[in-house]
Structure 1
């Protein structure tokens, strides 16, 4: 039984969780590469303050690279967001 492919706009409004089950935020928009016809990233808002308050100041959200996405279903699962975020904060610029 062949299923119709989902439209990428169906991602908007889905909750985003790390693969460890930590709530990250909610998909508000998509970053697209129209020439290659691929999704480059997810614009995530309604961020989990425990993850982002120390890092994201004065911004409405973050863009999560689409390569971090592990699976899409009722929610979007992404790889190790907490560990990746902590590593970036600890590295001096």
Structure 2
């Protein structure tokens, strides 16, 4: 659990350092949790398509919002990772 918590925190720190906008949540534990491996439910915007937080499966309460031009752009974005639409 500690490894997963640290992994999510690393992804969040990296995205924020690269210019992502935190719409809610963010790094660290929720305010009501001093211990444990709880991750703040987080929504990020303004994240580059190739950012690690976009390309990896996070397995935590993190959502990345990304605009798209049309259906073809949305499908291309969904397929633009190791996992694609599999």
Q: TM-score, normalised by structure 1?
A: 0.27
Structure with more helix by fraction: 2
Q: TM-score, normalised by structure 2?
A: 0.29
